Amino acid sequence: MAYLLGYDLTDYDIKLIECLVNYRGVKPYHFAVMKYGKNFTESQEKTIYKYLRKLLDQKLIVKYKLQDGSEGSMYYLTSKGYELAKDLFNIEEGKRGEGWINENGFTNYGDFPYELFSPPLEQAPHHLLLVDFLFKLKSINTTFIEHRINLYSAVTYGNSENKFRFRPDAEIRLENNRTYAIEIDRGSENHEQLCKKFRTYRHYYETAKQSALDVRHAGIIFIVEDKRKKHGMKRRWKNICAAFIKEVGDYHKDVNLIMTTVSDTSETILFEINRKNYEQRFINKLSTFLKKKGNQDVNLYLINDLDNDYKQIITTNMAESNAFYVNVYITSQTFEANVYSKFMNVYRQINAIKNQEVVKGLEFRGFRKAIIYGNEMPYLINDIGPYELDKEFNNVFREFNDNVHYYRVDDVLV
How confident is the model over 279-308, as pLDDT tens digits?
999 999 988 888 876 666 788 888 776 565
Q: How far is CA 186 from CA 102, 150, 192, in A?
A: 27, 17, 16
Residue 261 · residue 223 · CB < 8 Å = yes
Helix or strand holding residue 399 (H, E): helix 391-400
How far apart CA 254 and CA 268 sit, in angstroms, is 18
pLDDT at position 303 is: 78
Residue type, 35: K
Which residues face 163 on adjacent strands? 158
Helices (H) and strands (E) in the chain, counts: 14, 19
pLDDT at residue 1 greater than cutoff 50: no
pLDDT tens figures, 345-390: 899 889 999 999 989 999 999 999 999 999 899 999 988 888 888 8
Residue 129 · residue 66 · CB < 8 Å = no
pLDDT tens figures, 396-410: 888 888 889 999 999
pLDDT at position 386 is: 86
Query: Is 0.85 surpassed by the pTM of this model?
Result: yes
pLDDT at position 135 is: 95
pLDDT tens figures, 159-199: 878 889 999 999 999 988 899 999 999 999 999 999 999 99
Tell which wins on pLDDT, 229 or 21.
Answer: 21
Q: Beta 61-65 vs 310-319: how paired, if at all?
A: unpaired
